Structure 1
C-alpha cells in the first residue's frame, strides 16, 4: 500500500498554506522584466535561467496581501541568492526543514495514535490534543516566497531535458522547489472535502458478515463468524479458497457480493442489522424472528452511495486544479509527479493486455483448476508458492509464531535473512522498523528523520497474525526496506525516497512474493519457482492492467463531463469497466459484461493510484531478474541512493533498462512451455 508518510507530508504542507481563493497576481509584466534585468546585472548571465524562472514563479504566486509591486521588487532584489551564499543557505534550509517536517510527522502520529492503531484506546483528551498540533503559515512568514524565488519549479519535460547535466545538489534544489511551486487553497476551503473524507472512512470500515450470507440456494457456506472487507477481504478470501475443499462454491458466493457492491445492490439494512440474512444471487433479504427467516420486501439498497462517494473524492481533487498556474488537471499532475507519462503508461498496459500469451496462460489455469475460468479468477493464486499449502496450515504457522506485534518485530531480522538480505543489513533494517496493529489492511511509512525508524502496520486478530495478514506484512516490509535504504547513506535527505510510488510498490511486491521463503517453505525446485513467479506476475498484471485502465478512463470521463451526477457517473463506470473487460478479458475468460474491474478500494476513493501497482510489478520483475545474477541487497541499496530524481535515472542505476515488460514476456514463453508438458499441471 502507498506509504502513509508521503500523504502526511502533503497534508502538512497544504495545511500550512493560507486560505485563499484563486487570484490573479497583482504584479505586471513590466515589473517582472525590470526585476529580472536588474538581477542579471547583479548576479551575471550564468544565473539567467534561475532568475527568469524564480522571479516569474514568485510573481504568479504573489497576492495583493503579500505587498505592493514595489515590495515585490524589493523582495526579489534583496533575497535572490547565487554563488556560495546560495549553497550555504540551501544546506541550512534543507537541514532545518528535514527536522521540522520529521518532528511534525512524529508529533502528529503521536497525537493521532488512538485513531490509527488498535492497541491505543481512544480518550477524551485526544480530540483536544489534536486541535493544538503545531503549524505555521509559510506565506505570511514569507518563507514560501523565499524558496520560490531561489529554487524554482521545473516541469517533467524540463527535468527530462536537463537530468543528465544536473549535479546532486541541483537535484536536491529542484526537489525543494517542487514542494513550494504552487500556492494552493487549504483543504478546509474545498467544498468536497467533508463528504470525501466521510466516504473514505465508510469504505475503510466496509465489511460484510459472511456467515449471514447464503448462496443462491439459500445455504450458508460460512458458519463461523467472519467479516470481510470489500474489496481486499473478499479478494484475499477468494485467493485462500483455491486450496480449500469445495472452495469454488464459496468463491461464487464472494463474487456475487463483489458484483452487488459494484452495481449498488447491497441492502443497507444488512450492513446495519445483525439479525438480517441476505442471498445476493437471488437479491433477497430476510429478518430472523424467533429462529425463522421472514423475507423483507422492497428493501433499500446502497444504489448511488458508492458513486456519490467516488464523485466527491474525484471532485475534491479536481477542485484544486484552479489554484495551479498554469492550470493543469489532476491526471496531468499525477503522472508528471511519477515521471512516467500517461501516454507511456497506457500504451504499456494496452500492449500487455492485448498479448495473445495471456490466453495461453488462462488455459494453463483452467487445466490446473479442472474447470473453465470465472471472472474472480483474475485473483488466481495458484502460481504463488503458498498455493502448495492449505490455508489452515498457513494460519497455524503464523498464529503460533506471531501472537502479537512485539514478537513479529523481534523476528524481522530472521525473516529478512531467509528472503535473501545480508545478515548485517537484515539486523540493521529490523532495528529500524516499528510494528503497530491496525483495524484492516496495512500501510507503512519511511523514516521521517535520518536514522529514525520506518513504520509497518498490519492486522492482529485474537489468535495473532493470520496468514493473509502475514502476506500483507511482507508487502509492507518491502516498503520499509525501501524506506530504510533510501534514508541511509543518502547525500541529501531532501532526495530521500524514490521518484515514483511504483518503485516502492516494486519493493513491496518483491518481498510479498517471497513470503513462503520467510516461513521456511520451499515446495518447488528453483526452476519451477522461477516459472511460477513469471506467471504469477503476469496474471497480477492482467488484473491490475484492467483496474488501472478503468480508473484512468473514469477520470478522463469526469473531466469531459464535469457536471455529471452520481447516477451518470455510475452508468459511466459500469460501461467503462464492462467495455475494458469485453475488449481484453472476454477472449481469455469467455464471459462478457463484467464489472469487477471497478471493485478496488483505491479506485472507488478516487486515489488515481492503481497504475503504480501495474508499473510496480513490472519493475519488481526487472529487479528480480537483475538480482538472479547479482547480489540482491547491494543492488537494492545502490539503486536507492539515486533518490527522488527521475524514474528513468533510477531504473538505469537499478536494472540498466527503462520500465519494460520485454523480459517478462520473453520468459513467459519458457514458463508456458514448462507447464504445458504432460507431466505437470
Structure 2
C-alpha cells in the first residue's frame, strides 16, 4: 500500500471558500463583486499584453479566499495590483522559486511525520503512550493557514489560476509540460481549512492505524470443535491481510487446506459481526474455538467478552473527522473530495464502472472453471482463489524456506534490490540509482510504502519480517511495496517539474505495485512453465478485480450511508455494513457462487484505517492490465520508466500518453473470454 504523509494535503486542498470566524461561525469572502471587477479592469488596463483570462481567473479565485482579517476591499485591490506578474519570464522565475520552497516544506514535514510515526509503523517493540501521542501529532497542520496569514498563498493564487477537473480534461489536450506544472501549482491553494480540524484528523487516523496494526489473531491457539489445533503453534495473523494470505496459501493442500480456510473464514465472520472475544485480539494467553465461540484459559472454559463494536467506532471517528472539513469545501462531502478531488474521477462514474464489471457474464464462467479446478462447489472465501498464479501449485512452506534463506532480515532484502531490478530489465547503473533511494524496515503491521516528498530523501519499504526471516507472505508484500517505491522514486526524482511529481491518483501506483508483485516467483528463479501462463494471469487479474470491486462498492455505500445517518452509533453502523455487504454479495456474487447472505466483503481493514482507499486497488487492476498489454513486447524497465516520468497529469491524459487509450474495463473482459477458450 502506498502511504504518504501528504496524501491528506490533496484532500484538504480540494476545499475552499470558508473559514470559521472567531465565534465559531462559518465565514465567507468579503470582497465585493464591484471590487473584483474593478481589479480585473485595472490589471487589464495596466498590463494590456497580459492574458486577460488569466487575470480574471486569478483575481476571482484570490477574492474567494480573502477574509476580513486579510484586509478591506481596497486592501485586496492594492494587493492584486502590486503582486500580479504580467511578464512570463518573471512568472516562470517565480514558479521555479515557489516549487523549490514547496519541496523544502513538504519534504521536511514528511520527514518529521516519518520520524514521529516510526515507532507505530516499524517493529521496535512495545508502543508507549508517548509514542502514540507523537505519532498522532501533525507538524504540518498549520502550514496552510500560515501561508494564507503571510499572504504567500494569495501571491500564488493570483498568478497561477485554479482549473476544474473538466477544464483540465479539455484544456489539457493542448497543454505542454510547463502548462501542466503551472496548473498543478494552481491546485495548491483552494482551501483554508482550520488547523485544528487537520490536526484532529491526524490524531483519529493514527488511532485507527494503531488499532489495525495490532489486530493480531493467534492462529496457533485456534481450536476445532474436537479441540484440535491445525495451525503452527507460533503462527500470528494480522487482520485482514495475513488472514487472507494464509487462506490463499492453503489452496495447494487439499482437504487439510480447506479445513484451515473454513476456520479462517469463521474467524473473519466473528470480526465482522464483533462476536470475536475481546480477550483473543493480540493476546496469546487464550485458546479459542471459533465455531462454538468458546474461550479457554489454562485449559478451563471462561466467559467470552465480545469486542464492543470498536471496529465500527473507528469508522465513525474517521467519518466525523473528515466530515468536519465539509463546511470548507465546494466539494461538500469527503466522498466528492476523495473521488473528484484526489482521484480526479467522479464517484458515480467509478460506481457505474464497477457495477458494469461485476455484472459481466465472464465472471460466472471463471467461477465455474475454479469450481472444476478445486473439485468442489465454490465457498465465499474463494474470492481469494489463488490457483491461477504459478505459486498456486507450490506449497507456502517450500516458498518460505527459499525467502527466509535469501532474506533473513530487512537489510538482506535492501541489499538485494539492485539485483531484483536488474532481473526486471534495468541496467545495473539505473537499478542501483533507484535502489539506493529505498530503505527497508520490518513493519509492525502488514506493510506499506512511504514515499519521499523531496529529492535527497529515501522512500521506505516496510513488510513483516519474523525473527526467523522473511516468509513468503512478507516477500510477496515486499515485492508489492517495491513497485510503489520504484514509482515514488521515478515520479519524484525523474519528473521535470516538482509540481508534477507523483501519479494522477493512487490507482496508478497500485498498478505498478501489482506488476511487481505478480513477478515475485520469476525473481526467485521459480517461473511458471505452464504454456497457458498468459491466459492464467488474465483470469487471475479478473478474479482479483471481481473481489476488490465488490469491496470497493461496499466502501462507497458505507460512506453514503454515513452521510445519510450522520449520528449513527457504532452498533447501528455495524448492522448497516453487514446488510450492505450481504446485499452486494447477493446481487453480484451469489449468482456465481450459488450461496446467499455472506458478509465476507466487510472484512477489509482498509475500511477502518484508510477511508475510501479501496477503489484505488480496483482501478489499479484495470490500469495494470492496460499497462501489461502495452508493454507485452516491449522492455518492462524502459516502458515503466517512461510512463511514470509523466508525473501527475489527470488519469485519462496520463493513460493516453502512456498507452494511447483511456481507462477501460472491456479489454480485460475481452481477454478473459479469450483465455477461457483454452480451458473449455
If the TM-score is normalised by the length of the shorter chain, which range does it land in? Answer: over 0.9
**1:301 matched to which residue of 2?**
306
1:18 and 1:186 in contact (8 A); partners too = no
Instruction: Describe the SS at the equivalent of 1:582.
Output: helix
Cα pair distance change 1:278/1:114, threshold 3 Å: closer
**Distance (Å, rounded) in 1 between the aligned partners of 2:133 and 2:604:** 35
1:220-369 pair list within 5 angstroms? 220-244=229-253, 246-271=256-281, 274-288=284-298, 292-296=299-303, 299-324=304-329, 326-336=330-340, 337-369=342-374
Deviation at residue 546 of structure 1 after TM alignment: 0.5
* Partner SS for 2:147: coil
* Structure 1 position 639, deviation (Å): 1.5
The answer to whether the 8 Å contact 1:255/1:376 transfers is: yes
Q: Using a 3 Å threshold, how does the CA distance of structure 1 residues 123 and 608 change in structure 2: closer, same or farther?
A: closer
Alpha-carbon distance, 1:193 to partner? 6.3
CA 1:354–1:217 in 2, change beyond 3 Å: closer, same or farther? farther
Aligned pair in 2 of structure 1 residues 190, 486: CA closer, same or farther (>3 Å)? closer
**Distance in structure 2 (CA, Å) of the matches to 1:639 and 1:411:** 25
Shift of residue 5, structure 1, vs aligned partner: 4.3
Partner of 1:3: 3
3-state SS of paired residue (1:249): helix
**Post-superposition shift, 1:138?**
1.4
SS of residue matched to 1:179: coil
TM alignment of 1:120-269, pairs within 5 A: 137-188=146-197, 194=203, 197-244=206-253, 246-269=256-279
CA deviation profile, 1:235-270 (whole Å, cap 9, x unmatched) = 011011112351100111100010111111111223
Q: 2-side partners of 1:315 and 1:582: how far apart?
A: 30
**Are the structure 2 counterparts of residues 471 and 411 from structure 1 closer, same or farther at C-alpha, using a change threshold of 3 Å?**
same
Per-residue displacement from partner, 1:314-347 (whole Å, max 9, x unpaired)?
Answer: 22112101111x3522111211232223233222
The change in CA–CA distance for 1:550 and 1:122 in structure 2 (over 3 A counts) is: closer
Structure 1 position 467, deviation (Å): 0.7
What is the alpha-carbon distance in structure 2 between the residues aligned to residue 656 and residue 500 of structure 1? Answer: 18
Structure 2: distance between partners of 1:11 and 1:550: 21
| Distance change (3 Å), C-alpha of 1:377 and 1:169 | same
1:91-102 correspondence runs (5 A): 91-102=96-107
Give the 5 Å matches for 1:408-427.
408-427=413-432
Helix, strand or coil for the counterpart of 2:440? strand
Q: TM-score, normalised by structure 1?
A: 0.92
Paired residues, what number? 667
Q: How far, CA to CA, are the matches of 2:661 and 2:452 in structure 1?
A: 28
User: Hey, what does 1:24 align to over in structure 2?
Assistant: 28
Q: CA deviation digits over 1:372-399, x for unaligned, max 9?
A: 1111110111111112211111111010
Please give the secondary structure, in 2, of the residue aligned with 1:244: helix
CA distance 1:608–1:8, shift in 2 (3 Å): closer
Could you say if the C-alpha distance between residues 190 and 564 of structure 1 is closer, same or farther in structure 2, counting changes exceeding 3 Å? farther
1:675 and 2:676 correspond: no
Range 187-196 or range 372-381, more displaced: 187-196
Cα distance change on mapping 1:332 and 1:618 into 2, 3 Å: same
**Aligned residue in 2 for 1:594:** 598
For residues 437 and 230 of structure 1, what CA distance do their matches in structure 2 show? 18
1:528 aligns with 2:527: no
1:191 Cα deviation after fit: 6.5
Residue 609 of structure 1, aligned match among 613, 625, 631: 613
Q: Secondary structure at the match of 2:186?
A: helix
Distance 2:582 2:386 in 1: 23
Deviations 1:205-256 (A, max 9, x none): 1111122222344432224122211110110110111123511001111000
SS state of the match for residue 672, structure 2?
A: helix
What is the CA–CA distance in structure 2 between the aligned matches of 1:522 and 1:274, rounded to whole Å?
A: 38
SS in 2 for 1:138: helix
Alpha-carbon distance in structure 2 between the residues aligned to 1:391 and 1:654? 36
CA displacement at 1:640 relative to structure 2: 1.8
Q: Given the superposition, is the C-alpha separation of residues 604 and 121 from structure 1 closer, same or farther in structure 2, using an over 3 Å criterion?
A: closer
CA offset at residue 27 of structure 1?
1.9
What's the offset of the Cα at 1:508? 0.2
SS at match of 2:150: coil
Secondary structure in structure 1 of the residue aligned to 2:532: helix
Alpha-carbon offset, residue 19 of structure 1: 8.2
Deviation at 1:445, TM superposition (A): 3.1
SS in 2 for 1:163: helix
Instruction: Name the counterpart of 1:485.
Output: 490
- Give, in angstroms, the shift of residue 591 of structure 1: 0.7
Q: Distance in 1 between matches of 2:251 and 2:424?
A: 25
Shift in CA distance, 259/176, structure 1 to aligned 2, threshold 3 Å: same
- Could you tell me which runs of 5 or more consecutive residues in structure 2 were left unpaired when the two chains were aligned: none
Q: What residue number does 2:71 align with?
A: 67
Secondary structure of residue in 2 paired with 1:62: coil
Provide the C-alpha distance between the structure 1 equivalents of 2:182 and 2:240, rounded to a whole number of angstroms.
41
1:164 partner SS: helix
Alpha-carbon distance in structure 1 between the residues aligned to 2:605 and 2:129:
31
Q: Unaligned regions of 5+ residues in structure 1, if any?
A: 677-681
1:591-622 per-residue CA deviation (whole Å, 9 max, x = no partner) reads: 11111111111113351111110110111111
Q: If the length of structure 2 is used for normalisation, what is the TM-score?
A: 0.92
